[in-house]
Amino acid sequence: MLTALSAKNKMEFVDGNAPQPPKSDVTYSAWHRCNNMVVSWLVHSVSPSICQSILWMDKADEIWNDLKSRYSQGDLLRISDLQYEASSLQQ
């Protein structure tokens, strides 16, 4: 997903570097359109069960941060197992 967002120059909508301008701002319409596009990409890239929990959010950075906080925690036991396996490899 990060690669796709970066390729389409939309990373700033999920990393917080494109804050929502006031509705009276001339850039609001363009921001709103781009935000909606990124929201659509995010919604369509997750499973239906996960989608149900983010459908009510209307800003891409809110969705991104919610998904990140829920799913980015590593499996420490699995990481430890992989590190052990890697340390025992021989050429």
Render pLDDT for 10-59 as a digit per residue (tens, 0 to 9): 999 999 899 999 999 999 999 999 999 999 999 999 999 999 999 999 99
What are the structure tokens assigned to 32, written together?
A: 């709103």
Q: Quote the CA–CA distance of 71 and 15 in Å, as a whole number.
A: 16
What are the structure tokens assigned to 91, written together?
A: 């050429």
Q: Which residue has the higher pLDDT, 81 or 27?
A: 27
pLDDT of 73 higher than 90 = no
- Identity of the amino acid at 90: Q
Q: Quote the CA–CA distance of 9 and 37 in Å, as a whole number.
A: 12
Provide the whole-model pTM. 0.76
Q: Quote the CA–CA distance of 17 and 11 in Å, as a whole number.
A: 8
